[in-house]
């Protein structure tokens, strides 16, 4: 993994099929705490902190932000799963983790068996279809990509305020233990730097990779299920199924729909997610 240290949790039972769970911004693997106990009865769960997040490595970046490209993060995860003995696996991913999962499926089609993505449309589609409503609701997309150290300095001046601003729009309350973990991590200036680099990469090199995929007809090959919150920005501003079908070899393999919650599906609607995950991931068995 090129010197990258991945932290998180593994509930490995070799007799159970592997399931890789990937979190989003500005969180950690802790987002899965309400769904992991039930999923662990059916799968060997691998729940890492993404590069730059939580307690995983936060390497220096570069002028092109390639260090925090979704391609680099996908490489981390492919190497991690191989190190654990899993050459083929399924993926459940939310938010930024779902963007990494998209890259993982395109770059390593032989490894990804099935993929369930939570509350995103493709990055390229979201930038190309930016509206006033989207830019207002997802203000952080355009704040975090500003040149260093401007956003880093502002966040580090009051990191807990940033966390509350970006996450308190969710329906319901976060578990206090999970919230304390998110607070702990966002107070690390290196995490803040890495988060900004993640978003800078998304607005630059990740878009280059996405456009190259389309030009070379490199598509998602595996069955894809997409869920999003009825009360979230994706529902209001995009047509997720239509956008994902454009990027899949077999558009008829893309299924999904909206559920009655906001953005943070694993914490707002855990049972609905567990039910959907079990139905989708066990379909072929």
The residues that are catalytic are 95, 263
Which residue has 């066990």 as its token pair? 282
Q: Are 198 and 25 in contact (CB under 8 A)?
A: yes
What's the CA gap between 53 and 42, in Å, rounded? Answer: 27
Q: Are 46 and 65 in contact (CB under 8 A)?
A: no
| Structure-token pair, residue 23 | 């979190």
> What is the SS3 assignment for the chain?
CCCCCCCEEEECCCCCCEEEEECCCCCCHHHHHHCHHHHCCCCEEEEECCCCCCCCCCCCCCCCCHHHCHHHHHHHHHHHHHHCCCCCEEEEEECHHHHHHHHHHHHCCCCEEEEEEECCCCHHHHHHCCCHHHHHHCHHHHHCCCCCCHHHHHHHHCHHHHHHHHHCCCCCCCCHHHHHHHHHHHCCHHHHHHHHHHHHHHCCHHHHHHHHHHHHCCCECCCEEEEEECCCHHHHHCCHHHHHHCCECCHHHEEEEEECCCCCHHHHCHHHHHHHHHHHHCCCC
């Amino acid at each position: 993994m090129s010197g990258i240290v991945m932290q998180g949790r593994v509930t490995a039972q070799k007799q159970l099929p592997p399931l890789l769970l990937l979190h989003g911004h500005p969180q950690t693997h802790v987002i899965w705490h309400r769904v992991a106990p039930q999923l662990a009865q059916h799968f060997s769960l691998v729940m890492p902190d993404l590069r730059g997040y939580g307690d995983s490595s936060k390497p220096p970046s570069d002028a092109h932000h390639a260090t925090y490209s979704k391609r680099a993060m996908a490489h981390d995860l492919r190497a991690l799963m191989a190190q654990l003995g899993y050459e083929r696996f399924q993926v459940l991913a939310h938010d930024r983790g779902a963007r990494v999962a998209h890259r993982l499926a395109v770059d390593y089609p032989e490894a990804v068996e099935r993929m369930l993505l939570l509350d995103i449309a493709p990055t390229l589609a979201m930038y190309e279809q930016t509206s006033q409503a989207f830019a207002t609701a997802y203000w952080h997309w355009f704040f975090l990509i500003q040149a260093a150290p401007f956003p880093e300095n502002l966040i580090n001046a009051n990191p807990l305020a940033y966390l509350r601003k970006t996450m308190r729009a969710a329906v319901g309350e976060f578990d206090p233990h999970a919230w304390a973990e998110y607070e702990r991590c966002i107070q690390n200036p290196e995490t803040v730097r890495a988060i900004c680099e993640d978003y800078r990469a998304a607005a630059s090199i990740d878009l280059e990779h996405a456009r190259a995929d389309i030009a070379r007809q490199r598509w998602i090959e595996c069955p894809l299920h997409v869920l999003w919150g009825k009360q979230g920005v994706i529902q209001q501003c995009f047509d997720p199924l239509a956008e994902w079908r454009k990027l899949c070899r077999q558009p008829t393999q893309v299924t999904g729909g909206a559920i009655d919650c906001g953005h943070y599906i694993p914490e707002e609607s855990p049972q609905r997610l567990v039910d959907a995950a079990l139905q989708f991931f066990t379909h072929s068995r």
